[in-house]
Amino acid sequence: MTNILSPHTWLFWIVVGGPLLVAALHRSVGLGVVFVAGIYAALVGTKCALTCAVALARTRVDQHALERAARASGLLLLLAGVYLLAQGVSQLA
């Protein structure tokens, strides 16, 4: 669901993936299938590798360090949200 709703996926297929897929399909259907399978294998494989890395890190990193990292991440997200909100409000005025 994340990949379907994400604008990154749509932008990739419209700008890069679609034209490459069409070019691959003009050469052969098999090449097009391999292209799509390779893209999704890389997408799913990367997410699985990241999930495994985070799972391993959670067992090897100090709990207090994880809490500090989570708080720092939350603060950065909050600051980014405030910045974007201020930008949006300034453009409306």
What does the pLDDT read at residue 75? 97
Domain identity same for 48 and 85: no
What does the pLDDT read at residue 61? 82
What does the pLDDT read at residue 68? 93
What does the pLDDT read at residue 41? 95
pLDDT along the chain (93 residues), means of 10: 81 94 96 95 93 87 87 97 95 86
What does the pLDDT read at residue 5? 84
Whole-angstrom CA distances from 5 to 1, 8, 9, 11 are 6, 9, 8, 11
Domain identity same for 74 and 56: no
| Domain enclosing residue 77, as ranges | 63-93
- pTM > 0.85: yes or no: no
Domain identity same for 27 and 47: yes
Domain identity same for 50 and 18: yes
